[in-house]
Amino acid sequence: MNITRNFCLNQLKQCQRRFAAPSIRWQTTQATSNQTTSNEEGTTHFGFQTIKESEKVEKVHKVFEDVAKSYDIMNDAMSMGIHRVWKDIFIERLGPQHGTCHLDMAGGTGDISFRFIKYLQNQANPKGLKSHVTVSDINQHMLNVGEERAKKLGLTEEKLSNMSIEWKCADAENLPFADNSYNSYTIAFGIRNCTHIDKVLSEAYRVLKPGGRFMCLEFSHLNSNTLQWIYDQYSFNVIPPMGQILAGQWQPYQYLVESIRKFPKQEDFKQMIVDAGFSMVRYENLTFGVVSIHSGFKL
């Protein structure tokens, strides 16, 4: 009886060893495969190109470094001056108030900040409340152009009453500002150039004070197929050659028109803002949806 029992136990142990080993090898292989997958870098878009996420910041930086000095001229030419109207409406929708601390992200050459300051200058300030604006951009070349423009327009801190202005080079995905620092946050024609839009929105939410407002002005998608076709013909066949003629740059403006097509549609971007935690989220189309103003509050 004992001989039979020992024989059976030995057979059982051999079977366990025989079938356990492949299982261990399979688990090891699977773990190695999972580790390789987790170490693979994600991809994103640069216009219509698919590139590594780590490459986008450098490529976008190069685009705006190349066009910094001609940026405002090209904006006028490409939009036939309509971008000025869009920005005016944008600031009117924001409705700045004295005593506000404002962050103008992707502020570059100062177009939005200058409008913010001038809007307050046209408002009575009987209590002498002090306001502040931080102009921030990831590209120092753009900020340099903005500071020079500010000096020419007399919009420097030395010449402004009850207003301070700061120029800060920073990444919208990783802001160097403290939580709950600003009453309002704007980003105009900049968020589509960021690698991780969700991180930009999360950072905007973080630095805003409770009750603070997020606003984004960005190229969008037309609500008419016919108008979209016309707009596409103009964008792809006119804007890059125009960039070559006026700024000596073709590729940055080819990237511009491609990046617009890759940006989420209005409803999709609205949901991204909601997902970041904002409330009372809405958008308004301008010029049939060529651009849209998106708005949300941190409550």
The annotation places the binding site at: 109, 137, 171-172
Q: CB-based contacts of 30: which residues, under 8 Å, 6+ apart?
A: none
The helix (run of H) or strand (run of E) holding residue 162 is none
What are 119's strand-pairing partners?
A: none
- Residue 279: burial class (beta carbons within 10 Å; 0-12, 13-18, 19+): exposed
Residues at the annotated binding site for S-adenosyl-L-methionine? 109, 137, 171-172
Amino acid at 53: E
Rounded CA-CA distance 92/288 in Å is 19
What are 293's strand-pairing partners?
A: 217, 284
Rounded CA-CA distance 193/171 in Å is 11
End-to-end CA distance of the chain: 79
Q: Are 74 and 81 in contact (CB under 8 A)?
A: no
Rounded CA-CA distance 85/77 in Å is 14
Which parts of the chain are beta strand (E)? Answer: 43-46, 49-52, 101-105, 131-137, 163-169, 182-188, 208-219, 279-286, 291-297
Token pair belonging to 248: 């000596």
The CA-atom distances, in angstroms, between 133 and each of 70, 169, 187 are 24, 14, 13
H helices, E strands: number in the chain: 11, 9
